[in-house]
Chain A
Amino acid sequence: MSTAVQSQDPHPAVEPSYLVSKRGLMSWLVTVDHKRLGLMYLASVMFFFLIAGILAIALRTELFTPDQDFMSAQTYNQVFTLHGAIMVFLFIIPSVPAALGNFFLPLMLGAKDVAFPRLNLLSFYVYSVAAVFLIVAILTSGLDTGWTFYTPYSTSTGTAVITATAGVFIAGFSSILTGLNFVVTVHKMRAPGMNWNRMPLFVWAIYSTAVIQVLATPVLAITLLLLIIERSLGIGIFDPAMGGDPVLFQHFFWFYSHPAVYIMILPGFGIISEIITVHSRKHIFGYKAIALSSVAIAVISFVVWGHHLFVSGQSELAGVLFSFLTFAVGVPTAIKVFSWVATLYGGSIQYNTACWYGMAFLWTFTVGGLTGLPLSTLAIDVHLHDTYFVVAHFHYVMVGGTVVAFIGGLHHWWPKMTGRMFNETAGKWGCLLVFIGFNVTFMTQFFLGHQGMPRRYYAYLPEYQVMHQVSTIGSYILAVGLLWTLIYLMHSLWKGEKAPSNPWGAVTLEWQTQSPPIEHNFHETPHIHGSPYDFPEIDKSAGALHH
Chain B
Amino acid sequence: MSNEHAHAPAHDDDEHNPHLAHHFDTMGQQTASAKLGMWLFLATEILMFSGLFLAYFILRMLYPEMVLEAHEHLSKWAGGINTVVLLTSSYTMALGVRSIQLGDVKKLRLMLVLTILCGCIFMVVKYFEYSAKFEHGMLPGKFYSAHLHGYEIDGLPHIFFGVYFLMTGLHGVHVVIGLAIMLWMFVRAGRGEFGAKNYVAIENTGLYWHLVDLVWIFLFPLLYLVK
Indicate yes or no for A touching B, C-beta below 8 A: yes
Chain A interface (Cβ < 8 Å from any Cβ of B) = 111-117, 119, 176, 180-181, 183-184, 187-189, 214-219, 221-223, 225-226, 229-230, 233-237, 242-245, 248, 252, 520, 525
A237 and B29 within 8 A (CB): no
Give 7 pairs: A residue, B residue, CB < 8 Å, sorted on A.
Answer: A115-B33, A184-B33, A219-B50, A229-B140, A229-B166, A242-B141, A244-B159
**A235 and B43 contact, CB distance less than 8 A:** no
Q: Which residues of B lie under 8 Å from residue A215 when comparing CB positions?
A: 43-44, 47
CB of A393 to closest CB in B, whole Å: 28
Query: Is the Cβ of A235 less than 8 Å from the Cβ of B44?
Result: no
Q: Tell me the bound Cα distance from A233 to B62 in angstroms.
A: 20
Q: Which of B165-179 contact A (CB under 8 A)?
A: 166, 170
The answer to the question of B37 belonging to the interface, with a C-beta cut-off of 8 Å to chain A, is yes
Give the contacting residue for B44; candidates A116, A176, A248; CB below 8 A: A176
**Closest CB of chain B to A151's CB: distance in Å?**
13
Residues from chain B with Cβ under 8 Å of A189 in the complex: 23, 29, 33
Is the CB of B109 closer than 8 A to any CB of chain A?
Answer: no
Q: Which residue of A lies closest to B56 (CB)?
A: A237
Q: How far is the CB of A126 from chain B (nearest CB, A)?
A: 14
Residue in A229, A245, A252 whose beta carbon sits within 8 Å of that of B62 in the complex: A245
Give the docked Cα–Cα distance between A230 and B140 (Å).
Answer: 10
B80 within 8 A of A: no
Whole-angstrom distance from the CB of A539 to the nearest CB of chain B? Answer: 38
Contact call B36/A184, Cβ cutoff below 8 A: yes
Tell me which residues across on chain B come within 8 A of A219, comparing CB atoms.
47-48, 50-51
Would you call B44 and A222 a contact (CB within 8 A)? no
B41 at the interface (CB under 8 A from A): yes
Q: Which 3 A-B pairs have the closest CB atoms?
A: A235-B162, A222-B51, A234-B142
Indicate whether B32 reaches chain A with its CB closer than 8 angstroms: yes
Q: A233-B142, A236-B156 are in contact. Are A243 and B63 (CB under 8 A)?
A: yes
Pairwise interchain contact B158-A116, C-beta atoms closer than 8 A:
no
Partner of B158 from the list A113, A119, A236 (CB cut-off 8 Å) is A236
Q: How far is the CA of A216 from the CA of B50 in the complex (A)?
A: 11
B59 at the interface (CB under 8 A from A): yes
B128 at the interface (CB under 8 A from A): no
Which residues of chain B have C-beta atoms less than 8 A from A111's C-beta?
A: 23
Q: Flag if B159 contacts A221 (CB, 8 Å).
A: no
How far, in whole Å, are A187 and B40 apart by their CA atoms in the complex? Answer: 12
**Which chain A positions have C-beta within 8 A of B146?**
none
Q: Tell whether A235 pairs with B141 under 8 Å between CB atoms, given A112-B22, A115-B33, A184-B36.
A: yes
A518 to chain B, nearest CB (A): 14
Q: Quick check: B55 and A226 within 8 Å, CB to CB?
A: yes
* Minimum distance in angstroms from B30 CB to a CB of chain A: 9
Which interface residue of A222, A230, A252 has the most chain B CB atoms within 10 A?
A222
Q: Are A222 and B162 in contact (CB under 8 A)?
A: no
Q: How far is A236 from B63 in the complex, measured between Cα atoms in Å?
A: 12
Q: How far is the CB of B26 from chain A (nearest CB, A)?
A: 10
Q: How far is the CA of A525 from the CA of B26 in the complex (A)?
A: 14
Whether the pair B51, A252 counts as a contact (CB closer than 8 A) is: yes
Residues from chain A with Cβ under 8 Å of B156 in the complex: 236, 242-243
Chain B residues close to A by CB (< 8 Å): 21-23, 25, 29, 32-33, 36-37, 40-41, 43-45, 47-52, 54-55, 58-59, 62-63, 140-143, 156, 158-159, 162-163, 166, 170
Nearest chain B CB to A21's CB is how many angstroms away? Answer: 14
**Bound CA span A111–B33, Å:** 13
Q: Is the interface of B mostly helix, strand, loop or mixed?
A: helix
> Which of A117, A119, A187, A235 contacts B140 (CB under 8 A)?
A235
Across the interface, name the chain B residue whose C-beta is closest to A222: B51
| Given A235-B141, A242-B158: A226 touches B166 (CB 8 Å cut-off) | yes
Q: Is the CB of A235 within 8 A of B166?
A: yes
A237 adjacent to B48 (CB under 8 Å): no
Q: Max chain B CB contacts within 10 Å: which of A111, A180, A214, A216?
A: A180
Among candidates A116, A117, A226, residue contacting B51 with C-beta atoms closer than 8 Å: A226
Q: Which residue of chain B is the closest to A216 with respect to CB atoms?
A: B47
By the criterion CB–CB under 8 Å, are B140 and A237 in contact?
A: no
Given the known interface contacts A188-B33, A236-B158, the answer about A180 and B166 at a Cβ–Cβ threshold of 8 Å is no
Is A112 touching B142 in the complex (CB atoms < 8 A)?
A: no
CA distance A221 to B25 in the complex (A): 35
Expressed in whole angstroms, the Cα–Cα distance for A237 and B53 within the complex equals 12
Judging by beta carbons under 8 Å apart, are A237 and B55 in contact? yes
Rounded to whole angstroms, the CA-CA distance of A176 and B37 in the bound complex is 11
- Assess whether B58 is in contact with A245, with CB atoms less than 8 Å apart: yes
Complex: chain A residue closest to B169, CB-CB: A229
Q: Closest approach, in angstroms, between the C-beta of A35 and any C-beta of chain B?
A: 12
A51 to chain B minimum Cβ distance, whole angstroms, is 29
A112 vs B23: C-alpha distance when bound (angstroms):
5
Complex Cα gap A235–B162 (Å)? 5
A5: shortest Cβ distance to chain B, in Å?
18
User: A183: which B residues are within 8 A, CB to CB?
Assistant: 36, 40
Specify the chain A residue showing the minimal Cβ separation from B50: A219
How long is the Cα–Cα vector from A520 to B4 in the complex, in angstroms?
A: 13
Q: CB-CB < 8 A to B21: which residues of A?
A: 117
* Contact present for A188 and B40 (CB under 8 Å): no
Closest to A185 in B: B33
In angstroms, how far is the closest chain A Cβ from the Cβ of B57? 11
- Of the candidates A180, A218, A222, A237, the one whose C-beta lies within 8 Å of that of B37 is A180
| B49 contact set on A, CB distance < 8 A | 222
**Which of A112, A183, A184, A225 gathers most chain B CB within 10 Å?**
A184
| Residue of A112, A235, A525 most packed against chain B (CB within 10 A) | A235
Known: A237-B55, A237-B58, A245-B58. 8 other contacts (CB 8 A): A115-B33, A180-B44, A188-B33, A222-B50, A222-B51, A230-B141, A234-B158, A244-B159
| Minimal Cβ-Cβ distance residue in A for B166 | A229
Distance between Cα atoms of A252 and B58 in the complex (Å)? 12
Partner of B162 from the list A116, A117, A180, A236 (CB cut-off 8 Å) is: A236
B162 / chain A contacts, CB cutoff of 8 Å? 229, 233-237
Q: How far is the CB of B144 from chain A (nearest CB, A)?
A: 9
Docked complex Cα distance between A225 and B40 (Å): 21
Chain A residue, CB-CB nearest to B41: A180
CA A183 to CA B36, docked complex, whole Å: 9
